[in-house]
Homo-oligomer: A and B are copies of this chain.
Amino acid sequence: MHQDTLFPADPQTRAIARRLYGTVAGLKLICPHGHADPAWFADNAAFPDPTSLLVIPDHYILRLLYSQGIPLEALGVARRDGSPVETDKRAIWRKLAAHWHLFRATPARLWLEQTFATLFDVTETLRAGSADRIYDRIAERLEQPAYRPRALFERFNIEVLATTDAAHTPLDQHQALHNGDWKGRVIPTFRPDAVVDPEADGFVANVAALGALTGEDTTSWRGYLAAVAARRQAFKALGGTATDHGHPSAATADLSASEAANLFEDALRGRLEPTGAEQFRAQMLTEMARMSIEDGLVMQLHPGAWRDHNRLVYERFGRDIGGDIPRPTDYVAALKPLLDRFGNDNRLTLILFTLDETAFSRELAPLAGHYPALRLGPPWWFLDSPEAMTRFRETTTETAGFANTVGFNDDTRAFCSIPARHDVARRVDCAYLARLVAEHRLDEEEAMETAVDLAYRLPKRAYRL
């Protein structure tokens, strides 16, 4: 990777970007939101092979290959019905290599090539002719102790890494990490979607599991709320500082206790219509904000994805294979009930994400630039790329400033991509700041300070880490 990657071509601006980047390139990584598996660090087992580590779990890669006609079976994605899929990891790798040109100008390429270069000392380009050599090089490294999860965590210079964990499941690996003597800070994030969304698979069973974990009677609205609050405490006890909520919309509600109790009762009996389910989820966001004020957990909201839009892919392969599609997302009306109650409360931090970038300048920056409880999460999922990250700064900063944003989230299941993702984000922010400096809109000294804010101080402060 060239040292000036992602920096503007203008020599004066590029020189500024280089200097800014020099101040942040080596800062420790704050990873407050992502999908790493805590078992990696609890067990510290070697990663099996290049394909299982770098290809199969990365839906950025799967979806683009799939869009060009490569069956998911040929990429080793397991079918729900147990039908055979490709199991030859090297064959899958070769398939990726043969189609690597599809990834030109995508962030997935930036991340993977930087991973190759910095982690595995691979300097040649991935293509049919180099596929085997690169595969072998990576496979050989993965057998070495220095490539075990804990060693990589340290090598990656991670200060803290939050995983995302269902509220109704035990936190065995986190407990093990907590009890163990490894110094790496890996913490859970409270993700209650499966016990909060009446339309989630197994909602009733999930709520029962939550009751069992907490010893609360989750057949009543009061008991259910007590169970949720207790479970939040359990996450907090293992170092958790945040909750995360993936809802179809940003709808919130402020119902009376009896209305909410009725919805809950209907939900448990499977009698809720879609509008009732939406109302219940909406009410639960407001309940979560209330609990956040009580227990101090930072709240994150990720709305606006149509999950599993591709029916066939969902039926054959299940969730998270690349079939989520964004939709227009309203925040202004949707959040009002919650904001009417808690929006002016400094104790609450509610971090908003979006897949609909039209909301950046129209809704999110105006909201976060006004309500004390609101902050803007970084560009997410389809927007976590250089161009979109630049647009995020260009459309939010003038109204919300930098201080109402929370720095970067890598938000990934692809562990090895974490350093590259942070590096890309730091480069993009430095490029943006360099332009401000070159255009005399910011002093270089202020830009230096801001670069450190964006890379390190803001996420640490926003997530109370």
Residues of A that sit less than 8 Å from B by CB: 1-2, 4-13, 63-64, 66-69, 101-107, 110, 306, 309-313, 322-328, 330, 332-333, 336, 339-340, 343-344, 346, 355-358, 361-363, 365-372, 374, 382-383, 385-388, 391, 394-395, 397-404, 435-436, 438-442, 446, 449-450
Contacts of A103 in B (CB 8 A): 401
Q: Which of chain B's residues has its CB closest to A370's CB?
A: B63
Q: Is the CB of B401 within 8 A of A326?
A: no
Residue of B107, B323, B336, B387 near A309 (CB, 8 A) is: B336
Bound CA span A207–B286, Å: 41
Q: A9-B13, A64-B401, A104-B402 are in contact. List 19 more A-B contacts (CB 8 A).
A: A4-B439, A5-B439, A8-B9, A63-B370, A67-B372, A101-B446, A102-B401, A103-B401, A105-B436, A106-B398, A310-B370, A313-B344, A324-B366, A325-B367, A326-B363, A327-B333, A327-B363, A355-B362, A357-B362
Q: List 13 A-B contacts (CB under 8 A).
A: A1-B440, A5-B439, A5-B440, A7-B439, A9-B435, A68-B372, A68-B403, A104-B442, A309-B339, A324-B366, A356-B358, A358-B362, A387-B395
Bound CA span A5–B439, Å: 5
Q: Is the CB of A327 within 8 A of B332?
A: yes
Q: Is the CB of A361 within 8 A of B388?
A: yes
- Residues A366 and B326 in contact in the complex (CB < 8 Å), given A67-B374, A404-B68: yes
Contacts of A102 in B (CB 8 A): 401, 403
User: Nearest chain B CB to A264's CB is how many angstroms away?
Assistant: 27
Contacts of A391 in B (CB 8 A): 394
User: Nearest chain B CB to A83's CB is how many angstroms away?
Assistant: 16
Bound CA span A103–B387, Å: 24
- Residues A399 and B382 in contact in the complex (CB < 8 Å), given A8-B439, A439-B7: yes
5 closest A-B pairs by beta carbon, nearest first, are A385-B398, A9-B438, A2-B440, A5-B440, A69-B346
Q: Is the CB of A6 within 8 A of B440?
A: yes
Kindly report how many copies of this chain are found in the complex they form together. 3
Contacts of A361 in B (CB 8 A): 357, 382-383, 388
- Residues A344 and B310 in contact in the complex (CB < 8 Å), given A67-B370, A366-B382, A369-B63: yes
Residue of B4, B10, B332, B382 near A365 (CB, 8 A) is: B382
Contacts of A388 in B (CB 8 A): 361, 395, 398
Report which residue of A2, A6, A13, A325 has the largest number of chain B beta carbons within 10 angstroms of its beta carbon: A325
Q: Is the CB of B438 within 8 A of A370?
A: no
Bound CA span A106–B322, Å: 37
Q: Is the CB of B370 within 8 A of A322?
A: yes
Q: Is the CB of B400 within 8 A of A67?
A: yes
Contacts of A450 in B (CB 8 A): 104
Q: Is the CB of A397 within 8 A of B64?
A: no
Contacts of A344 in B (CB 8 A): 310, 312-313
Q: Which of chain B's residues has its CB closest to A369's CB?
A: B67
